[in-house]
Structure 1
Amino acid sequence: MRKLWVILCLVGMSSVAWAQESSPRVSVLPFAIHSRQDTVKTQKTVMELLVRRLEAEGVKTVDPQDVEKSVRPGEAVQNEEQARALGRRLGADYVVTGSLNEIGNSISLDARLVDVSARKKTEALFAEEKGMENLAAAANQIVQQMAVHLLARAVISEVVIQGNERIEAEAIKSNVKSKKGELLRSEQVAEDIKAIYKMGYFEKVDANVTDTSTGKLLTFVVLENPTIQEVRIKGNNKIKEKDILAAISTRQYTVLQKNVIAEDVQKILKLYSQKGYFNAEVKPRTEFPKDPRKATVVFDIDENKKVYIQEIAFTGNKSFSSRKLRSTMQVKEKSLLSLVTDRGILQKDILETDVDRLTVFYHDKGFMDAKVGTPEITRRDDGFYINIPVDEGERYKVTSVKLQGDLIQDEAKIQEKLKSKPEEYFSREKLREDIDVLNKSYMNEGYAYVQVEPNVQRHSEEQTSDITYNVKKGDLIHIGRIYVTGNTKTRDKVIRRELQLAEGDTFSSEKMEQSITKLKKLDFFEEVEIAPSKGDQADIMNLTVKVKEKLTGAISVGGGFASDDGLFASSEIIQRNLFGRGQTLGVKGYFGQDAQRYVASFTEPWLFDRHIIAGIDVYNWLREYNDFTKDATGVRLRTGYPFGNYSRLNVYYTLENADVTDVDEDASAYIKSQEGKLLKSSITVGMERDTTDHPFMPTRGSINAVSSEFSSQYLGSDTDFIKSEVKSGWYFPIYWKLVGFVKGEFGYIDDTDPDKPVPVYENFFLGGINSLRAFKWGDVGPKDEQGEIIGGRTYGLATVEMLFPLIEKLGIRGVGFFDAGNVYTDIEDFSVSDFRTDAGAGIRWSSPFGPLRIEWGYNLDPEPGEDRSRWQFSAGAFF
């Protein structure tokens, strides 16, 4: 650094020397003044300004007092010959003469630089500014122009960059203010050197000045920083190296920049603070293992332990406990969940949002003047302690709720729908809900552009408030044109038939929402949007249905493993939107050591363009039981009729030819009685209702189903029985992002003809990934006298699940579950106390390749010979 300043001083000294060595002597003569200003005073001011600036540039000047002795006050020399004569008398090499002109708010200096010897031509100089207050700036411009002519040897002839290898010369020059054709200034060169250093790419910067026939050659000689050959991250365990490298700017094969490395240290520390490692330390070091021009940058990380929020406290809260206030916040104290989640991590941006949440909470509870202050964060040895000041203010009650404006219903009927009620505490949330209720009520009646403006009057002395909703209904809107966009495969009519609004209908926001829901439930599209736009007339609205299609064909595989049953697998090839018609065609296969099943199916969801579902299944089912083998071939005809928004009535006809063979000699009499072929002809009637919000990852809603199968000799069947089942499952949000699921199932078979016993393979069996997950499929049920499971006539099953996000962005959920159930010989034997139970956990992923489930069940009360636990899985792949 000392060397740099020595160089700059030498440059400065030499530049002054250049100016002094070649500087001619100049005499500034009085200017002619064309202005409202005092002529003599203004003449003197102009001369002083020009002389002072010329001397600052290193130009020798004639003393203005000597000039004044040679020219009478107020006079000006306009003739060049007179000017030269006066210049010779004053001993000057050059004289400067001219005029000052003031016109309106503008001033100008028109000057001439006259060579006394007359060997050089006279140079015209000009400067213009706004107002007399800028006279000094105009004089400076004239001097700058004079300096170029007077100090020709001190003018920059060229600016050159030397020593740069990777940084372009033009990129360096863009930071340099010394330009070709300008006067060389030592102070400007010093600033230029600083500017090049600030670029961060150079280890050393020098400036050299050499004389040329055309002026001064200014050369900046740079030495670039070393090249980064490698960037290493050491000591990181909690954050992956690729994530750290992606966050920092130090890169391989770039120029080493110390300021960038310092910034990268802060970026790494920020990454760790987001994970709760506020004590993390990052020490950068630069190594030159082989070549002093090739650097290796190493970031040594000492992660240390996580720092959690130990306590969140409040001051000033009187009406609500600190626990209640904490429950409204997203930032939480450390708990057991901190072992598997980010709970307890301090994130200041989220904490700032929590201040708004707390304020909203108080306003919703009637504290209209409540204020929540800035959280005070204290760092101690064991973690963070946060105190949040609260000023609750007074609590307001509602004295009246009124409606004004365009009312389409009786005011009393509308008020019944409103949440805000007189004599209750004021709530901003209820106010928002009321606006939403009013908007929807009017929009469902066709008033799409309704405006609801709430007016809340507070009475501070009484702590009361009056609410008035002003309603402007606007025009009654009808649907004009409906456009469908984004569908490249799915046919327009497949989309249009799900819409609850048609061209010409009165607008309804409820029907538009139902249309979006129905389109989403098709599961043909990644995105669904219905965008309204104004039609040709004020009372007409056009709708544009925008969809983004997804893959609807799938190849799925599933299976499980048991120590006594080995591997089993299942597969399915299905297209849920065949040729874009909304039809489903699929082939399923189950492959195991003891069973094989094949099913080909086709479904038409709109038979004859009416919302009647029709389908057919053709199947073959071969299963090897312990004492016999069943080989069945059959066909099933299906039809269904949706009604309401979520319900459907189903009717099936099944014709199955089953053959029971390979009956063991030691089998029970019951099993031996099943040997031979048996024809089943049956009708199944069922009803189901599905209100869930997602086909695989629901968070709310329910699935309820009831069905009965009638097999009778009157249908040509060899068996007579009625097989009935009831299933009910409910999803509901619990807390944070936890979702609860409760399911119950019950089934019963009624043997209507004792002379034609129900086939053993029609009995109920439990076990597997969809029932009791600690057991293999069909492993739970009554046994015969030989100890073999033969299923039963009735069963019960209960499941409780807790679902929670693991990696929310990727759609990965965790699940903890409890299963209880059993199968009984007859309904008289049914007893909840005999239920088999298991518990376990698993992972569910709505992957790009289809739904994936991996679950482990633990047998809570194993019987002799049973496995203690079992893994179950199913997976899929889309095409």
Structure 2
Amino acid sequence: MRSFLASAVALSSIIAGATVSGGLLAPEAHAQAASSDLIRRVIVQGNERIEARTVESYLLLEPGQPFDPERVDLSLKTLFETGLFADVIIARDGDNLVVQVVENPIINQVIFEGNRAHDDEKLSEEIQAAPRGVFTAARVQADVQRILEVYRRSGRFSVDVTPQYVPLDQNRVDLIFEITEGPVTGVRSINFIGNEVYSDRRLRSEIVTRQSRFWRFFSSNDNYDPDRLEYDRELLRQFYANQGYADFRVVSAVAELTPDQEDFYITFTIDEGEQYDFGEITVETALDKLNSDTLEAIIPIREGTLFRGDLIEDTVDSLTFAAGIAGYAFVDVRPRIERDPETRKVNIVFAIDEGPRVYIERINIVGNTRTLDRVIRREMRISEGDAFNRVLIDQSRNRIRRLGFFEDVEIEENPGSLPDRTEVDVRVTEGPTGEVSFAAGFSSVDSFLLDLNFTERNWRGRGQYIASRIQTSSRQQTIDLRFTEPRFLDRDLVAGLDIFSTRTDFLDIADYETQTIGGSGRIGFPLTDRMNMNLRYTLRQDDVQIRDRDIVIDGNGRIVRDPNFPFFIVSVEPIPDNIPNGGQIVDQCDLANLDRTSLCRQERTDLSSIVGYSFSWDRRNDPIRPTRGFDLGFSQEVAGFGGDVFYVKTEGVATFYRGIWRDIIASLRFSGGYVTAFNDDDLRINNRFFRGGNTFRGFDVAGLGPRDVIIDMDTAGNVTNIRRASNQSSLGGKVYAIGTLELAVPNFLPEEYGIRTSLFTEFGTVGLLDEADRTQEQVFEVTDVNGDVTGYQILRTEDETSLRAAAGLSVFWDSPFGPIRFDFSQILASEEYDRTETFRFSTSTQF
């Protein structure tokens, strides 16, 4: 560094053409006789880029004023403090004031060499030097310290940074930082002294710093960072305070370098103290609209329970919120804590006073590199000039987080220009809002699908949502385009347009396929801050085709059966030779076949004109990972405003969340639906409910619900077997009801692996067909080679709305390739004809 400073001085000398020293007055100036004590003219010399007027603006002297040595000295200091000049001389030449300057060079470019752990962009954000900036030795030295700090935070304490420069023409330089990164300094061990209640292992799990291990290659928390160590001290205090140890303190936190200078030993010396319970909890207030008894009833602290520090903060928030509802935007809630070591009780008095009136002077949006300011500001519940309100601030933060555009959102308050003014800084960290997803799924039967999905939830930073989806599998091919404008006509309205084309092949589960093409428009608006209503209209054309299957019928239009397998004969080449006189080969749904199934009635092309609405109510405490609250959804759609289809479909869903302990979070979800036709219309199969796969883990797609089955019976009438007539016999249902209980549980794997696990159980049913949608029961004799009857086979529709249930484990992995989910299921209750699966996975990649 000393050599660099010497080089910088030499650089200034070269630029100036001679070595000059800042001074008050040159000696020769004293030898000149002044004809007057007033300054006649100010002469600026040596400036190349900076205009003379700019130099004169920093002077405290001007023509017509007397020569004042004190003002000359202050002018000299002012010019140096600008950072624009390497040297300045102020001299007197007769009646003229001569200001001779040597300008600092301009940085042409900043170059980093040797950096691998941190890219150029990261380092450029940390330093002050930038292209077209002024080159000064002091600024470069400060930048060196910043670079050293960046590397030390990542555990590289042996890093060396050497600044160099290359002089260029026109008083420019290239600034080069030569970096020798050195090895990463890890944490060999973390030890605790003074802990008796909790083990070292438990306390290590409560702090951020981790011991260096070979499997932590995705994390930097096992690198020594002194700033992180201070944060760990606070985490320990919070942990013990939440376990009742109100007197806990960290006596010291020491980091010692290992003899090989590659790692650190970290030792925390702590004093646990005694465990306390909550004692008497009271609320004092002199505000007219607030009643102490009422406020005491809403606080989450109860006398006699274990002391927890976070409950004090929660109580302050609850009381502030209650005061805000009562109309007090400015309140000061101060807890007075009194510890009684003899009884081990903590008595708390929450004193509520009307605080000083503070108004929002300015709202600053910081960190939004892509999202436009107005997209964020329109989610704020406060505006510039409003009274400061903590409740509205918290609501604004949740609304911004609910957008899903940012990894982190923090709102800070800073002093304004006056004591009763404050500035609100909304600091956001842009997150990935686009997603290119690839999904694949397997089942125990035959399921395999590929799904390519492009989604951008913040198109052009305007908050607009666009999505395009192409899905292909043995079952479905879909092209779906969607666009949503969250601020239609610059009002609090959400408008969207969808265009879709879908070919669905249910031949392997329901013996039919459909081709659907159409579009829909929708508009949504808020009823309250947490309630929303959406209206939509859909126009689509559905073409339902039943599987083409040739069968043999006799002259009476009845299916010719095989005596050993009493079901219809499929036409093959050559044509069967047992066609009876007057018989013929026809399609299974031909009108000449009097034994055709009810499914044949579904083969038609219809135009559907559908009007619908949906209502949502969100009372979750966190829109991303809730631990309390609930969210409800209810929707209805009516087909029949024109078109060929007439039905009413109703669906509802409710999910409740509850944090149990630490990372254990329970959620209970209920969903159900009912659809029925009206105007003497039949309910088409593609408008019924099919559940399974992602909608009911443990069962294949359309794996449960009404289905055509074959019942085998012996000659005595005893049922020997019940099986699916085929894998293509699913009929769907008019009603479904499903409940899901899920418990997020810790897996004790290192956090840097990004693996989360949850236990689940799903239970419910699907069914309730109309009589016209059932296949008419048919009984067939089974004979042996001698023609003797050995049993019977019955073909009929099973519509048992019996309980189905499954339980299992879901694993979520935030892998380097994108989020991956694995579901392992075990069937608890099912019917013999259901289709089940035990494993499914999906993955996606974000950008």
Please tell me the TM-score bracket, short chain as reference: 0.5 to 0.7
CA separation of 1:466 and 1:723: change in aligned 2, threshold 3 A: closer
1:835 maps to what in 2?
803
Matches within 5 A, 1:714-863: 715-754=641-680, 756-771=681-696, 773-784=697-708, 788-806=729-747, 807=749, 808-826=751-769, 834-846=802-814, 850-861=818-829
Contact 2:245 2:272 in 1 (8 A): no
The 5 A counterparts of 1:33-182 are none
* Pair 1:452-2:334 in alignment: yes
Residue in structure 1 matching 2:368, options 463, 483, 487:
487
Distance 1:632 1:395 in 2: 65
Q: Deviations over 1:39-86 (max 9, x none)?
A: xxxxxxxxxxxxxxxxxxxxxxxxxxxxxxxxxxxxxxxxxxxxxxxx
Q: Note the C-alpha offset of 1:677.
A: 1.0
1:491, distance to aligned residue in structure 2 (A) = 1.3
* Equivalent pair of 2:706/2:798 in contact (CA under 8 Å): no
C-alpha contact 1:769 1:873 (8 A) present in aligned 2:
no
Q: Does residue 1:671 correspond to 2:599, yes or no?
A: yes
Q: Does the C-alpha gap of structure 1 residues 827 and 391 become closer, same or farther in structure 2, counting only changes over 3 Å? A: farther
**Partner amino acid, structure 1, of 2:806:** D
Partner of 1:791, secondary structure, is coil
Deviation at 1:363, TM superposition (A): 6.9
Following superposition, the deviation at residue 474 of structure 1 comes to 3.9
CA distance in 1, matches of 2:484, 2:403: 13
* Counterpart secondary structure, 1:730: strand
Give the counterpart of 1:686 among 609, 614, 623: 614
Superposed CA offset, 1:350-381 (max 9, x none): 999989967765578xxxx99999xxxxxxxx
Letter of the 2:635 counterpart: S
Partner of 2:254: none
How far the C-alpha of 1:513 sits from its partner, in A, is: 0.6
Unaligned stretches of 5+ in structure 2? 1-154, 159-183, 206-228, 252-269, 549-586, 590-595, 710-724, 772-796
SS of the residue aligned with 1:673?
helix
Q: 3-state SS of the aligned residue for 1:499?
A: coil
Alignment deviations for residues 88-107 of structure 1 (CA, whole Å, 9 cap, x no partner) = xxxxxxxxxxxxxxxxxxxx
Q: How many positions carry a matched residue from both structures?
A: 533
Q: Secondary structure at the match of 1:860?
A: strand
Is the aligned partner of 1:497 residue 2:381?
Answer: no
Opposite residue 795 of structure 1, the aligned amino acid is Y
Match of 1:506, SS state, is coil
Change (3 A) 1:540 1:790: same
SS of 1:510's partner is: helix
In the TM superposition, residue 779 of structure 1 has moved relative to its aligned partner by 2.2
1:517 equivalent among 379, 390, 398: 398
Give the Cα separation in 2 of the matches to 1:428 and 1:840. Answer: 35
CA RMSD of aligned residues (A): 4.6
1:551–1:720 Cα change, 3 Å: same
The separation in 2 between residues aligned to 1:692 and 1:878, in whole angstroms, is: 25
Do residues 638 (structure 1) and 563 (structure 2) align? Answer: no
- Structure-2 separation of matches of 1:402 and 1:731: 30
Q: Please say if residues 409 and 427 of structure 2, whose CA atoms lie closer than 8 Å, have aligned partners that are also in contact.
A: yes
Conserved 8 A contact 1:822-1:834: yes
Contact 2:766 2:801 (C-alpha < 8 Å) held by counterparts: no
3-state SS, counterpart of residue 694 of structure 2: coil
Compute the displacement of 1:655 (Å).
0.7
Shift of 1:753: 2.5
Give, in angstroms, the shift of residue 481 of structure 1.
1.6
How do 1:350-749 residues align onto structure 2 when only pairs under 5 Å count?
Answer: 361=243, 398=280, 401=282, 403=284, 409=290, 417=298, 434-440=315-321, 450=332, 452=334, 454=336, 456=338, 469=350, 473-562=354-443, 564-626=445-507, 627-664=511-548, 665-666=587-588, 668-692=596-620, 697-712=625-640, 715-749=641-675
Q: Quick one: distance in 1 between partners of 2:761 and 2:273?
A: 46
AA of the residue aligned to 2:517: T
How far did 1:757 drift? Answer: 0.4
The answer on whether the counterparts of 1:795 and 1:821 sit within 8 Å (CA) in structure 2 is yes
Alignment of 1:267-286 (within 5 A): 270=189
- Distance of aligned partners of 1:536 and 1:856 in 2 relative to their CA distance in 1, 3 Å threshold: same
CA deviation profile, 1:231-271 (whole Å, cap 9, x unmatched): xxxxxxxxxxxxxxx9999xxxxxxxxxxxxxx9x986x48
Inter-partner Cα distance in structure 1 for 2:419 and 2:755: 47
The offset of 1:617, in angstroms, is: 0.9
Amino acid in structure 2 at the alignment position of 1:776:
D
What TM-score, normalized by structure 1, do the two folds share? 0.53
Shift of 1:803: 1.5
Write out per-residue CA displacement over residues 295-325 of structure 1, whole angstroms, 9 at most, x where no aligned residue: xxxxxxxxxxxxxxxxx998xxxxxxxxxx9
Say which SS state the counterpart of residue 374 (structure 2) adopts.
helix
The answer to whether the aligner puts 1:876 opposite 2:817 as a matched pair is no
Larger Rg, first or second structure (1 or 2): 1
Is contact 2:706-2:799 (8 Å) kept?
Answer: no
TM-score (norm 2): 0.55
Q: Secondary structure at the match of 1:498?
A: coil
Q: Distance in 2 between matches of 1:733 and 1:395?
A: 22
Q: Which runs of 5+ in 1 are unaligned?
A: 1-245, 250-263, 275-311, 315-324, 333-348, 374-387
Counterpart contact for 2:337–2:346, Cα < 8 Å = no
Cα deviation for residue 861 of structure 1 reads: 4.8
Determine the C-alpha separation between the residues in 1 that align with 2:746 and 2:288.
Answer: 46
Residues 570 and 540 from structure 1, CA distance in 2 versus in 1: closer, same or farther, beyond 3 angstroms? same
1:799-821 Cα offsets, whole Å, 9 max, x none, are: 22222244534542112222222
Distance in 2 (CA, whole Å) between partners of 1:526 and 1:504 is 29
**Could you tell me whether the CA contact under 8 Å between 2:445 and 2:837 is conserved in 1?**
no
Name the CA distance, whole Å, in 1 between partners of 2:770 and 2:630: 27
Structure 1 residue 467: Cα displacement:
5.8
> Take 2:846 and 2:273, find their aligned partners in 1: how far apart are those partners?
56
Q: Distance in 1 between matches of 2:244 and 2:765?
A: 50
Contact 1:446 1:477 (8 Å CA) reproduced: no
Query: Would the alpha carbon gap of residues 468 and 634 (structure 1) be closer, same or farther in structure 2, given more than 3 Å must change?
Result: closer
What are the equivalent positions in structure 2 for 1:245-324 lying under 5 Å apart? 270=189
1:721-774 CA-partner distances (Å, limit 9, x unpaired): 1111111122222233212222121111122223x1011111111111232x22
Distance between the aligned counterparts of 1:660 and 1:390, measured in 2? 72
Following the alignment from structure 2 to structure 1, what is the Cα–Cα distance between the partners of residues 461 and 348?
52
More helix by proportion, 1 or 2?
1
Moved more, 840-849 or 434-443: 434-443
**What CA distance in whole angstroms lies between the structure 1 residues aligned with 2:374 and 2:249?**
55
CA 482–830 in structure 1, closer or farther in 2 if over 3 Å, else same: farther
CA displacement 1:700-737 (0-9 Å, x = unmatched): 4433211111111xx11212111111111222222332
Q: Letter of the 1:589 partner, please give it.
A: I
**One-letter amino acid of the structure 2 residue matched with residue 791 of structure 1:** G
Q: Percent identity?
A: 26
Q: What residue identity is the alignment partner of 2:737?
A: G
- 2:702 alignment partner AA: G
